[in-house]
Amino acid sequence: MVKRENAPERKTKFSQIHYDYIFDQGVMDMQVGKSLAMRAADFMRVFPAKKMSSSRLQRIYKEKKIRFKKVKITKILTTRQRLKIKRYVPNVQADV
């Protein structure tokens, strides 16, 4: 295989700036609940010259041992809902 000296940079080769974006905590928080394909699309919107697939993103996450835990969503009850719960279940505290 012959190497060209002035070969253009590969579209899939990432620098530290790209990895910093992928592992940024703010970006990860914004992407909670999105699929890998949607996250890859977000990456390509920020860096249009780079190509990212969902499988490549999955490999990057696996290499760095990043796992996303389930996000616990709490619902704030209105006063009316609390009174309704207390009426049917008086012994249970309705401050959920």
- Residue 94 pLDDT class (50, 70, 90 cuts): very low
Q: How many CB atoms lie within 10 A of CB 82?
A: 14
Conformation bin of residue 35: beta by default, left when phi > 0, alpha when psi is -120 to 50: beta
Q: Are the beta carbons of 42 and 31 closer than 8 angstroms?
A: yes
Residues contacting residue 10 through CB under 8 Å, at least 6 positions apart? none
With a threshold of 0.75, does the pTM exceed it? no
2 SS3 class: coil
Give the pLDDT confidence of 36-53 residue by residue, as tens digits. 999 999 999 999 989 999
